């Protein structure tokens, strides 16, 4: 992922001050001019900018854009692959204002909320594809509250902020556990979670396995969280309301058109490395690069891993070698028929250490020997 604000500013300057389309031969086209002085932006499912011809492009936004401030402006519409409107709203020089509405692929209302000075106010209402109510969140206070919830059978399980909650959500990006969904379950009192909560992993065959256990106090604050897979405690609860990805569009982040980036696997590597090597009391203000090779079988299991380009800070290489041997899986390469094949991968990454000695691994990139 990369911030593309400066890149956009330079291209917009060329596009609008010269009145010409930018030369996109051999380059990435993240946006183009649209009629009536509007601009068409190209996003993936999670609102990261991608090339217009990328296989993972799924959303197009048509909006005004203020080049000097690098922000969206006025009314906008987002369209899916079939040209169906999936989101409408308004920006006042980059600030969200007024009514925002999202739609299911068949055009029925998915959710609606009003923004004031970039913040949601009042009720955020969600609906099932058949138009029946699903969930009502309230944003009048500093803490978002769950005020109403109906299950798929139409039974109201939460009323006036009190009741029982059981809600399934997909994992947005790659996770090493291999489950596509997780299910949150617990009590809601006065709009916030109370008491004992669980998270279960759910596979495609509806098989469930207990993943986390949590205890919330009367004010909805997590007091105890335990991850059964990692055998570890934590203090930040997992999400229990639907995720909204359209916020990401305003950050103008882009992704290369590779499955490793689109699936979130490169982000997973960043988080995995950063979690294993967190900080140092003696190393500060360092920018470094490294790479390593991985031999994969056709199942994506590493059979041989070796550090290729080591870090300049040699004392860290021993730890780096330990980390690269802890990654249990990579997506296998595919042949021209789409069959998984054994391959050799070269993984490139960057390490930044700030002035407080905190580590951040980022900008991961995977090059496959047998797959372009």
pLDDT tens digits for 196-216?
A: 999 999 998 899 999 999 999
How much of the chain, in percent, has pLDDT values that exceed 70?
92
| pTM metric for this prediction | 0.84
Distances 68 to 3, 5, 49, 287 between C-alpha atoms, Å:
17, 11, 19, 31
Query: pLDDT band at 26, cuts 50/70/90?
Result: low
Alpha carbon distance 64, 74 (integer Å) = 6
Asked if pLDDT for residue 356 goes beyond 90, the answer is no
Residue 331: name the closest of 203, 212, 176 by CA.
176
Q: State mean pLDDT over 37-45.
A: 96
Alpha carbon distance 277, 286 (integer Å) = 14
Element (DSSP H or E) covering residue 215: strand 208-216
Alpha carbon distance 66, 92 (integer Å) = 10
CA 175 to centroid of chain Cα atoms:
12
Alpha carbon distance 254, 272 (integer Å) = 21
Q: Which residues of 17-38 are buried (b: 16+ CB within 10 A; e: fewer)?
A: eeeeebeeeeebebbeeeeeeb
Q: How many residues does the chain have?
A: 372
Alpha carbon distance 115, 101 (integer Å) = 11
Alpha carbon distance 110, 242 (integer Å) = 11
Residue 186: name the closest of 215, 209, 161 by CA.
215
């Amino acid at each position: 992922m990369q911030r593309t604000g400066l890149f956009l500013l330079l291209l917009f300057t060329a596009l609008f001050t010269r009145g010409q389309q930018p030369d996109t031969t051999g380059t990435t086209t993240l946006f183009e001019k649209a009629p009536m002085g509007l601009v068409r932006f190209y996003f993936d499912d999670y609102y990261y900018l991608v090339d217009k011809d990328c296989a993972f492009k799924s959303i197009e936004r048509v909006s005004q854009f203020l080049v000097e401030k690098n922000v969206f402006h006025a009314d906008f519409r987002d369209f899916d692959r079939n040209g169906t409107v999936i989101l409408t709203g308004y920006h006042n020089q980059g600030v969200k204002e007024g009514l925002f509405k999202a739609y299911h692929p068949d055009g029925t209302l998915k959710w609606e909320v009003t923004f004031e000075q970039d913040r949601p106010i009042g009720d955020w209402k969600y609906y099932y594809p058949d138009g029946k109510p699903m969930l009502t969140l309230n944003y009048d206070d500093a803490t978002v509250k769950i005020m109403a919830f109906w299950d798929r059978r139409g039974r109201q399980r939460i009323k006036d902020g009190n009741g029982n909650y059981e809600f399934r959500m997909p994992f947005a990006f790659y996770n090493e556990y291999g489950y596509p969904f997780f299910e949150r379950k617990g009590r809601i009192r006065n709009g916030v979670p109370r008491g004992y909560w669980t998270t279960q992993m759910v596979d495609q065959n509806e098989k469930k396995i207990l993943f986390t256990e949590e205890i919330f106090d009367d004010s909805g604050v997590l007091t105890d969280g335990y991850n059964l897979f990692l055998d570890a405690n934590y203090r930040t609860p997992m999400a229990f309301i639907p995720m909204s990805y359209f916020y990401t569009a305003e950050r103008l982040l882009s992704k290369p058109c590779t499955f490793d980036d689109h699936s979130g696997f490169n982000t997973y590597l960043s988080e995995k490395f950063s979690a294993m090597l967190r900080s140092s009391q003696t190393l500060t203000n360092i920018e470094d690069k490294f790479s390593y090779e991985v031999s994969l079988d056709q199942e994506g299991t590493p059979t041989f891993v070796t550090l290729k380009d080591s870090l300049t800070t040699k004392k860290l290489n021993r730890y780096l070698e330990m980390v690269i041997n802890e990654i249990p899986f990579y997506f296998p390469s595919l042949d021209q028929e789409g069959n998984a094949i054994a391959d050799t991968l070269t993984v490139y990454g960057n390490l930044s250490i700030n002035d407080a000695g905190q580590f951040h691994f980022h900008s991961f990139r995977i090059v496959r020997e047998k797959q372009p």
